Structure 1
Amino acid sequence: MENVIELSSSTHNAGRLTLHPNLARSFGLKRQTKKRIRFGSKAVQATIYLSKHLPQNKASLSTDILDKLSLPQHCSLEITNRGDEILIGPFIGLLVGDEQDSIDNQLNNLLDYLFHYREIRGAIMAFSLENVDKVNLTMQGYLFNPKTKKWEQGIFPYPSSIFVMSTSVSSDWADHFQAIIGNSFFNHSRLNKWDAHKRLASSIGIKNYLPDAMLHGKPKDFYWFLKKFSTVDVKSIKMEDRSPIKVILKDKNNMLISNPNTNEIKNYSFYSRGQAYSVFDKYFHAGDYMIQESIDVPGYQNIEFRVLIVKDKWGKWQAKGIFTREKDSENLSKFISPIVKLEKEHLKDLLQRGDVYISMVYQEIIYIAIEAVEALEDSDSNLANAAVDMVIGEIGDIWISNVNHCHPSHEIALVAGYPEVYYEILKTNMLYARKLAGF
């Protein structure tokens, strides 16, 4: 049951929380008692009083408890009973990055996550690691004020759940937060792209959907991999949502390197392996890149698409949208083609099959994408937000080209003209954070 309260302060008695008997009874309290009041990581002992003179939706807290807990009175808070504690919240933290600058650049964008605040409710705070006090378990951050729709700076205890929004958090910080709030520190993974590939390759249900790949080490290994596949994608192993660099072996003495991130395309001629090795060394540092068989092979018809996957409030993965680029025979560059929803008609045009078969393929795509993300989770991580890049070929072969499990942007839904999908995804993220916070 949801118990939204209006919080007021009282200067008459110290160490007291006063509730209407009906409100107290809704979460199992029938008489005056002593309990700990918790807001985030901070808890204080209090006496619970029941008073019929108080409106049912109001709670009165003595000022000493309000100050100790740093409770914000302008937020839409709820109250519930858990064991020997009364929780006030939900208190959700948004970890934006390492430094203060990361918050300053993101505060306006974070308002998108609170578009459905009426359903999320609670205290929502954005913070960076730079302003965390490990000793006192407090942090300086920006708390959302639902009345003014603005962020207000302050110092607060650790939140009950922390939604990691940066692409990486050091093991030391992750261990620290997990020791305090456990699995409620979520959407963080210690896997880089190569680690993720190895994890997927070890999954019985997923490995057959993966193209061949190797970690870049020696130039001669790169050379023989390129000779075998003629077209390869080279990716940084860092968790960045960037397009891979394509290397194409045009013939035995010529190759092309195309970097869509810089719009750079260069042709190289080589007349010995050593010359080819020099080109590889120029572009790719050993150990920093993985090399993957390219699925996008000239002459073979396919559709590339992205599946957006998030956890619902119960922790179950859900596909929220599938997007691709509209193919246009007059437009040779896929990078400037419009982004659209992947419809069953797209698959029907490619595969030339009937409705029943196409529906089965569509569902199989979703199943594979969800299973891939599930394969990346373990006892040490609690993911919540992912994007799976996939390809389907003209004979119905399905491939996973990349799994971005470190908070990918879902603005692709906005670009495609589906703002309702975009805001639904962000709301779902926050409802999961709310659940982890105890509400």
Structure 2
Amino acid sequence: MIHIRLDKKRSMSIHLHSSFKKQVKRWKPLKILYGIKEVSVTPLFSNAVPEDTCYVTLDVIRILDIPINLPYEINLEKNKMIFGPYIGVLAAVTEEILQQSIPYLSVYVKDYEKIGGTIIAFSLDGIDHENETITGLMFDSKSNNWIEGIFPYPRSVFSVVETSLTENWSTYLDTMKHLHQKLGKRIFNYPNFDKWQMYQLLKGRLQQNLPKTVIYYEPKDVWKMLKEYPSLYIKPINGRLGKYVLKVTRISSGVIVKYGRHTKKIKHFKSWSLFKFYLRRILKEEAYLIQQAIDLVKCDDQIIDFRIIMVKNNQGKWENIGAFSRYGGKNSIVSNITAGGKAEIGGITLKTVFELSIKEMIDLVNLIHNLMMDAIVILEENGYHLGNLGFDIGIDQSGKVWIIEINNQNPDHYIAVKANKPNILFQAKLTNILYAKTLSMSFE
């Protein structure tokens, strides 16, 4: 790490240890980058300057608006130098909620010594598009506190804010588009994809491993699918946590509809006209999907699927850092933990419930990994910059593997805590921010 010291004797210059001299052409100015700001300075070199120190003049510090009390890394290339990392975490919708989120932000700076540089947390309404500044919180490593302030735009950003089911969704999209225009490839996960976009992208190559899915326009779309499959799920295109999901099953005396996350509710429609009226009343066209229901393996009337945490590391390589099984609540139509389910380490479930041998487990894990990587390749080929994903994987009664969903806006890794593996949650968050660090230190 490099520590910045104030040079009070000169102007528009930086003074570095002589070891940096070979990386800089002295007859050319050195361009310093911090966040999206940059300034050209005169580089000076001396053995008298400690290797972990650089002296920067006050005018340069003011132009870059760089805090000098934090340790930085520098990246030098062709007379350009990045001071970093400078990472922004979009953590809330409003500044008020951001303040309430301070206790939860600690997970991102738990291993600050591995990150260094400037880390800010901010909200949607803390961004000043015109002046390209952010009102938010900066982590101060010396006091171990978050300090309020107004900061220049960071060099990389990732979002952990939830807006897809709220009135803030359009504001979020506009903000991410704006930040993407300023940061380019240094913002992830962006753009976002919903359930329908995911299906459209993947079905060409992976259709055999995707539940058949159609978009809802009118009740006859449900009826058409019920003729093909005895049981369906109807779910919001942008839904999360199992909210507003219906399970529809065709029986000899009509149609059964199950709904409710915490308490099971059932409606029995004996005529098509009543069922059609019900669908028209509760569903909005082009806002819901109709999906083939997979006959998932169950244990004690609890459906089981798997959440797999996939994150991109500081080399930009994908890692599977945790696989967990989710047991739905008794007779629940969804497996979400928030709907009364429970979590367990995936390997335990494969051994106890699925009764697989070690070899069978290895073969299955490899099959799932390859399937996930195939999906990631397709998504990234289509312009999605990904770095943090939650795969929902199902295994049916015949042993076939299905991709049920890929969560990309802000996949909830809290399942690791529910499975008594909080270290995996911390590992996921650290890996996220180390990837953001890699982006921040990149000249691309």
> TM-score, structure 2 length as denominator?
0.88
What is the rounded CA distance, in whole Å, between the counterparts of 1:92 and 1:250 in structure 2?
A: 55
TM superposition shift of 1:364: 0.8
Q: Which runs of 5+ in 1 are unaligned?
A: none
Find the partner of 1:100 among 73, 92, 95: 95
Partner in structure 2 of residue 285 of structure 1? 284
- TM-superposition CA deviations, 1:106-149 (whole Å, max 9, x none): 33212211111111111111122323233332222211111122
After TM superposition, give the deviation of residue 236 of structure 1 in Å: 0.9
C-alpha displacement of 1:382: 0.6
Q: Deviations along 1:348-388, whole A, 9 cap, x unmatched?
A: 55555543233111211122123223322245321111111
CA distance in 1, matches of 2:314, 2:103: 25
Moved more, 111-120 or 217-226: 217-226
| Matched position secondary structure for 2:281 | helix
CA contact (8 A) 2:28 2:79 kept: no
Shift of 1:276: 0.7
Secondary structure in structure 2 of the residue aligned to 1:130 = strand
Letter of the aligned partner of 2:141 in structure 1? P
Distance 1:48 1:190, change over 3 A: same
- Tell me, yes or no, if structure 1 residue 338 matches structure 2 residue 342: yes
Corresponding residue for residue 143 of structure 1: 138
Secondary structure of the residue aligned to 1:201 is helix
Partner of 1:236: 236
Shift of 1:250: 4.1
Alpha carbons 1:310, 1:425 under 8 Å: kept: yes
* Cα separation, 2, equivalents of 1:63 and 1:409: 43
Q: CA deviation at 1:89?
A: 0.8
Deviates more, 1:103-112 or 1:416-425: 103-112
Instruction: Kindly report which structure 2 residues correspond to 1:323-334, keeping only aligned pairs within 5 A, or say none.
Output: 323-325=324-326
**Per-residue deviation at 1:154?**
1.8
Partner of 1:212: 212
Work out whether residues 219 and 280 of structure 2, in 8 Å CA contact, stay in contact via their aligned partners in 1. Answer: yes
Amino acid across the alignment from 2:124 = L
Distance in 2 between residues matched to 1:138 and 1:353, nearest whole Å? 55
Say if 1:215 and 1:287, in contact at 8 Å, map to a contact too: yes
The answer for the alignment partner of 2:152 in structure 1 is 157
Match for residue 436 of structure 2 among 424, 433, 437:
433
Does the CA contact (< 8 Å) of 1:307 and 1:366 recur in 2? no
Structure 2 partner of 1:121: 116
Q: CA deviation at 1:31?
A: 5.2
Q: In the alignment, which of 195, 198, 212 is matched to residue 197 of structure 2?
A: 195
Q: Which residue number in structure 2 is paired with residue 253 of structure 1?
A: 254
Give the conservation status (yes or no) of the 8 Å contact 1:140–1:153. Answer: yes
Question: Structure 2 matches for 1:44-123, cutoff 5 A?
Answer: 44-123=39-118
Distance in structure 2 (CA, Å) of the matches to 1:176 and 1:417: 39
**Separation in 2, partners of 1:426, 1:96:** 13
Q: Write the distance in 2 (CA, Å) between the matches of 1:391 and 1:185.
A: 30
Letter in 2 for 1:94: V
> How far apart, CA to CA, are the structure 2 residues paired with 1:89 and 1:428?
17
Deviations 1:141-175 (A, max 9, x none): 21111112211122222111111223467554344
- Contact kept in structure 1, 2:24 and 2:78, CA below 8 Å: no
Where does the alignment leave 5 or more consecutive residues of structure 2 unmatched? 165-170
2:17 paired with 1:17? no
Paired letter, 2:390: A
Residue 264 of structure 2 contacts residue 331 of structure 2 at CA under 8 Å; is this kept in 1? no
Tell me, yes or no, if the aligned pair for 1:373 and 1:405 is still in contact at 8 Å.
Answer: no
Provide the identity percentage.
Answer: 26
Asked if the contact 2:413–2:425 (Cα under 8 Å) also holds between the matched residues in 1, the reply is yes
Instruction: Kindly provide the amino acid, as one letter, of the partner of residue 345 in structure 2.
Output: K
Q: Please state whether the residue corresponding to 1:287 is helix, strand or coil.
A: coil
Kindly indicate whether the alpha-carbon contact (under 8 Å) linking 2:156 and 2:186 is maintained by their aligned counterparts in 1.
yes
Question: 1: CA distance between counterparts of 2:412 and 2:31?
Answer: 39
Q: Residues 69, 356 of structure 1: CA spacing in aligned structure 2 closer, same or farther, 3 A cutoff?
A: same
Q: Is 1:411 aligned to residue 406 of structure 2?
A: no
Partner of 2:222 in structure 1? 222
In structure 2, the CA distance between the partners of 1:280 and 1:332, relative to structure 1 (3 Å rule), is closer
Q: Decide whether the 8 Å contact of 2:92 with 2:124 is kept in 1.
A: yes
Whole-angstrom distance in 2 between the partners of 1:424 and 1:297: 30
Q: Which letter maps to 2:274?
A: Q
SS at match of 2:4: strand
Q: Is the 8 A contact 2:328 2:340 kept in 1?
A: no
User: Number of paired residues?
Assistant: 427
